[in-house]
Structure 1
Amino acid sequence: MYKLKALIQQKISLFIALYLGIILNLPIFYRRFHQVHYANTQALMVEMIAAFALVYFITTLVSLTGKTFYRILMSFVVVGSLAAGYYMIVFNVDIGYGILASALAFDSIDLSKESVGSHFFLWTLIGSLIPLIVLWGGKMPGSALRETTWQKLLFKGGLLLVSGLACLMPLKWMEHKQEAHDRLDNRMMASYGGVVAATYSPSNWLSALGLFAYSAYSQSEDTKNLFDPAKHFTYVPPKDVKDLYVVFVIGESARRDHMGLYGYARDNTPNLDKEKNLAALQGYSCDTATKLSLRCMFVRMGGTQDNPERTLKEMNVFSLLKKQGFSSDLYSMQSEAWFYNKTNADSYSLRETIGSEKRNTGKPVDDILLINEMKDSIANHPDGKHLIILHTKGSHYLYSERYPRSFARYQPECMGIDNSCSTQAMINSYDNSLLYTDYFLEQVLNQLRDKNAVVFYAADHGESVSKNMHFHGTPRDRAPIEQREVPIMVWASDKFLANDQNRQGFAQLQLMAKNKTPAYHEKLFDSILGCIGYSSPDGGVVDQHNWCHVQTTGSN
């Protein structure tokens, strides 16, 4: 009887391996076949064998836990693979840590659900139906760890060894072929096995899930354990800091190559085009997903580990300004509470709180609601030395929901999650969202024109936009350039520029903009401090990282 049940279980495992490893990945195999520029037929066969063998290895390993846990855990793998497969197949999304962290985090669930429509649920339900029936309908033995003899354990161990080698050895063979090919072309590519693991389901989302779990367990990022620059360096404030207003606008999914201000064919930045005190820099993001970029864009260079989860090592520039005596408020259309807590802002309000205010009753919850919050913040701090952080929704998908109908300049638009949209419709909607960003930023500047003020704007990452494709979060080592090229802008009021030192520093920004000098997220920490006039005699502001640094005679 045991042998019969064990045979049934092996058939179930083979079916699950075939279904998840081969059938579900067929469209991905097709894409990879056209991406590999050498030995693509061999690569296709190797990757199909590896994908099948990996799933079989997982099913065999899980079977050691007993039939109940086997069914539960494999049901989770099936449903997770179907869910990931929807975005991989329909939207060509590269599933990595950034995507998974954004999807699983409860404090950003409002944005995650906006990328999930009825088609997703139908796909997952229908696609999971047959494997779940097979899993729960077939008879199988109990736990091999409790009930089997050494011979049976050896049999399971043999299956694990064979399936593991069947997965690893072909990949190693192809990796040697790639290395030989790369030597001929004088180039260095990412690990072949690593790319394959990140390309197919379920290895891509399972490895990302493992990183997410590890990060949640071992990297609670207790502020007490983070390096605090305010405690290790001396910071000298500018003379006019007492009446200074600093505003940082965190953009979302904005690409500079789709903004008229940066030379885009469409004039979707008519307001910013007219700003004489604006420096539009050639920005590059430090990562490709909101959670990851928020970790690395406001700390000193090296303030996060260079790992997929961007483990935080240091306190950010906003907490430093708080310790320099700035009051601070933060208003957000997103819900990255973990980040907001680390700014040490005096108060912050999220979209739910802002939307529930009486004055906003009946209004759509979009970025323009942040303007009234900003007005109140300024009014409550009339003497200055005040920091305001605005976190926008910007150009997060669904683009057509990011702007009022009066800004639907470019037609046709992509109007629904489940719609089949052409590339042009997607781009039209995306460009309209940037048109609205232009309007929003103009309203921000209007609140500060008569004050001693500096406004910084930087998008967290870019966006890939084409037919039915509207995502970011590709692991940064292989992300397309449009997910890294972002707008970074600095605006200064006339009153701020009346100071000679400030004017000279701003001239350096304008020179960078004119020369199209790259501006990296990793240098925001030093540049925010340097551009508003802070200095440090012991290295707290690194001159080479400060975009506003004015070289004196004899300096390097």
Structure 2
Amino acid sequence: MLYALLAGALSVIAVWWLKKTTGVSCPWSIEEFGGSAELTNPAFPLGFRPGVCWPSGAAGSGFCLLPFFFMLRGFGKKVSILAFAAPLLLGLTAGIGRMLAGAHFLSHVVDAFLVDWLISGALYVLIFCRRGFLKAFALLFMGSGRTKEEEGMGVTGRRTAVRPPFAVLIFGLGLWWAFVFDAPMLLKLLAPKGAASLSSAALALESGIAFALVGASLAALLSLFPRMIFRALLVFLTILGAVSFAAAFLYGTAMTPDMVRNLIATDPAEAAGYISVRSVFVFLWALIPPLWLSLRGNAAPALTLRPGKTALLKALGLRLGGVLLPAAAGVLLIALNFQAFSSAMRNDKSLRYLIAPVNIVYSAIKTAAADDSPDEKRVRLVTDPAPKAAIQVRRPTLFVFVVGETARAANWGLNSYARDTTPELSKIKLINFPKVTSCGTSTDVSLPCMMSRIGRSNYDRDRILSEESLPALLERAGMNVLWVDNQSGCKGTCEGIPTREVFCPDGRCRDDDVLIRELEREIPKLPADRPTVLFLHMIGSHGPAYSERSRQAAKAFEPECRSADLGSCSREEVVNAYDNSIRETDRVLAGLIRRLEARSARLDSALLYVSDHGESLGESGLYLHGAPWWMAPSEQTQVPMIFWMSDGFARTFRLDTQYILARSREPLSHENLWSSVLGILGIESRTLRPEYDFSGRSR
């Protein structure tokens, strides 16, 4: 009875969880049947997704009684048939009833049956056939052919599985770490320019063997710890290596300190977007063999104090020899071809961050030692004690600063991209800036930097985070400032000013339409005696699920990649999904401007939009963003920027449109934002640098 209740409860929970996470919409919501949602196959991330229609919860309410069939299967044929037929009939009746109402497809009902059947059967085997299960578990992970239960019963004559010897453990791990975890690095050594040669093949092979020997030496060094700590460290390093391999294999990402910082700064909702069936499979494929070896392999025998110093010294010498000799052999192999190896490392600095699993450990230590979280509460240095608003306004005035997300200049229609990804903005009279460089390649770096007086040319993260941000200075200058966020936070740049996250029924909004509603919500509240500065932080084109950033009815480019696993899609599908997301940003920005324009008779307004960083879409095997600045491709650093203002705003703040237009043709960067915003709003501050002010007011 306890089994039946537990299995039934797990079946209900499993169906509920799958409905919440797989993102399958009901037929009545699908575009083909008069709705607005798209027809999709189930996805398997960890986070909740809109849809909630697979598998059938109604059918599951009947099928969750299947455990009673397993419970009663030994009580006679008629009882067994009745125990199977009753939940089957109840589930089909409820499921088909919902199908007729348009809530499910037949497959949703069948899948609910399969889920409940598998849970009921698996739990039955686990509980009532536990001797066989525990024996298999012990054989796999404990190296014993007999379970404790059998040993307690006095069962003899069974073969005891032999654990892999200590040498197999350390050299096996060294080989796996080198030729699997480090495979992305070895492939780059093998074909540095896309083609292999005899010399590059020799370099890759020598490097692989050298790193295998050094890895074995590292494992042998860790064996000097007590056995439990030794195994825990091996498991920890193996998990890190599998993470590094999956990131490099799926997205071409090296685990640099910047990337580790991004990983730490990513919230659970963002992280769930990176998880797919393929990414989990790749991770487990890389993890399970070395994990099994780490848990089952024999640890080195413990050093014991025996009578006489000679025996102890001999044992200690053997242990140290096991550590030093493989390391020396690995270093010698590298030295034999050091010129080629060092040249490759100098030409491509990312290679050193592909040496797993130590790459994540090094990057994490460097990040933890050198970095503070941008969201950490701190006392910030006031850079100007008395900023002053030099222009007095006499009617509601609004300056909207839109922080874009993951938009790259190469796919921006206003920048002469081959596709028209900005059809709405092209109809509006505005100023486009085609040559803008970001301060970083991730939100965690770029957002604090673009809101700071310190730019990329004098980049100092600690100094940036220790000084007040642009929104705080504007508020001290007398502006009415508000930050509205539809992303993963402001990274400390909105500290000390009014801040609001957008509200959506299912958490963070998947598109930026909500920002238009936020603008309309604020306009009636605008004071007439001082300007209002409204910062809007978009979700924009945040990947890897680009397809979720655009509405089905507005998708102009098909087919598009609908998976978080970008490597499983063609290049065309990835670009199509990304370009559709850019068109969505275009529609939202045009909507914001048109609403400001429609109120120009009683409202002076302006809008500045700039993306925080760009994105790689498969160029040179790279996806997403976050590459270190020194190796980042232009796709991740070149971003779009536009500026629009009403005639009343230009008159009030005495801005020269022709001057701004001329400056827009010059190469600019995030470094221009601090001084230009102060110039646009007429703020007198000693932090304003005229050479960086593209508004022209500080000339």
Q: TM-score range by the shorter chain?
A: 0.7 to 0.9
CA contact (8 A) 1:280 1:489 kept: yes
Q: CA deviation at 1:194?
A: 4.8
Q: CA deviation at 1:309?
A: 9.0
Partner AA of 1:21 in structure 2: A
Aligned length: 522
In the alignment, which residue of structure 2 is the partner of 1:185? Answer: none
In the alignment, which residue of structure 2 is the partner of 1:381? Answer: 526
In the alignment, which residue of structure 2 is the partner of 1:285? Answer: 438
Q: CA deviation at 1:27?
A: 4.4
**Matches of residues 444-463 of structure 1 in structure 2 within 5 Å?**
444-449=592-597, 450=600, 451-463=603-615
**Matches of residues 128-207 of structure 1 in structure 2 within 5 Å?**
128-141=287-300, 149=312, 152-153=315-316, 155-162=318-325, 176=339, 191=346, 194-207=349-362
> In 2, Cα distance between the equivalents of 1:418 and 1:117?
6
| 1:399 and 2:523 matched | no
Q: CA deviation at 1:315?
A: 2.1
Larger displacement relative to structure 2 (521-530 or 311-320): 311-320
CA contact (8 A) 2:431 2:642 kept: yes
Query: Taking structure 1 as reference, are residues 206 and 363 closer, same or farther at Cα in structure 2, changes over 3 Å only?
Result: closer
> In 2, Cα distance between the equivalents of 1:238 and 1:171?
65
CA contact (8 A) 2:168 2:297 kept: no
Choose from 222, 238, 246 the match for 1:78. Answer: 238
| 1:366 and 2:511 matched | yes
| 1:29 and 2:153 matched | no
> In 1, Cα distance between the equivalents of 2:550 and 2:301?
57
> In 2, Cα distance between the equivalents of 1:146 and 1:270?
80
CA contact (8 A) 2:471 2:493 kept: no
| 1:127 and 2:286 matched | yes
TM-score (norm 2): 0.67
Q: CA deviation at 1:166?
A: 5.5
Partner AA of 1:393 in structure 2: I
Partner AA of 1:524 in structure 2: L
CA contact (8 A) 1:251 1:460 kept: yes
Query: Taking structure 1 as reference, are residues 161 and 496 closer, same or farther at Cα in structure 2, changes over 3 Å only?
Result: farther
> In 2, Cα distance between the equivalents of 1:484 and 1:221?
26
> In 2, Cα distance between the equivalents of 1:480 and 1:144?
52
| 1:295 and 2:454 matched | no
CA contact (8 A) 1:292 1:309 kept: no
In the alignment, which residue of structure 2 is the partner of 1:98? Answer: 258
Q: CA deviation at 1:298?
A: 1.4
Q: CA deviation at 1:18?
A: 0.7
Choose from 407, 410, 415 the match for 2:562. Answer: 415
**Per-residue Cα deviation, 1:404-458 (whole angstroms, up to 9, x for no partner):** 0122101111112257311111111111110110001012212322222222211
> In 2, Cα distance between the equivalents of 1:309 and 1:167?
38
> In 2, Cα distance between the equivalents of 1:10 and 1:304?
51
Query: Taking structure 1 as reference, are residues 551 and 335 closer, same or farther at Cα in structure 2, changes over 3 Å only?
Result: closer
Query: Taking structure 1 as reference, are residues 220 and 51 closer, same or farther at Cα in structure 2, changes over 3 Å only?
Result: farther
**Per-residue Cα deviation, 1:94-146 (whole angstroms, up to 9, x for no partner):** 3323333333336x221121011122222222432221221111232477699
Structure 1, gaps ≥5 residues long: 182-188
Query: Taking structure 1 as reference, are residues 293 and 129 closer, same or farther at Cα in structure 2, changes over 3 Å only?
Result: same
CA contact (8 A) 1:304 1:310 kept: no
**Matches of residues 394-543 of structure 1 in structure 2 within 5 Å?**
394-397=540-543, 398-418=545-565, 420-449=568-597, 450=600, 451-466=603-618, 470-499=623-652, 502-504=654-656, 506-513=657-664, 515=665, 517-536=666-685, 539-543=686-690
Partner AA of 2:500 in structure 1: Y
Query: Taking structure 1 as reference, are residues 379 and 218 closer, same or farther at Cα in structure 2, changes over 3 Å only?
Result: closer
Larger displacement relative to structure 2 (156-165 or 317-326): 156-165
Partner AA of 1:511 in structure 2: A
In the alignment, which residue of structure 1 is the partner of 2:171? Answer: 14
Query: Taking structure 1 as reference, are residues 196 and 413 closer, same or farther at Cα in structure 2, changes over 3 Å only?
Result: closer
Classify the secondary structure of the residue corresponding to 2:186: helix
CA RMSD of superposed structures (Å): 3.5
CA contact (8 A) 2:659 2:695 kept: yes
Query: Taking structure 1 as reference, are residues 207 and 373 closer, same or farther at Cα in structure 2, changes over 3 Å only?
Result: same
Partner AA of 1:13 in structure 2: I
TM-score (norm 1): 0.83
CA contact (8 A) 2:480 2:531 kept: yes
CA contact (8 A) 1:66 1:142 kept: no
CA contact (8 A) 1:283 1:520 kept: yes
> In 1, Cα distance between the equivalents of 2:271 and 2:261?
10
> Which protein is bigger by CA-based radius of gyration?
2
| 1:213 and 2:368 matched | yes
CA contact (8 A) 1:16 1:131 kept: yes
> In 1, Cα distance between the equivalents of 2:412 and 2:538?
17
Query: Taking structure 1 as reference, are residues 150 and 326 closer, same or farther at Cα in structure 2, changes over 3 Å only?
Result: farther
Structure number with higher relative contact order (C-alpha < 8 Å, ≥ 6 residues apart)? 1
> In 1, Cα distance between the equivalents of 2:227 and 2:508?
53
> In 2, Cα distance between the equivalents of 1:203 and 1:305?
30
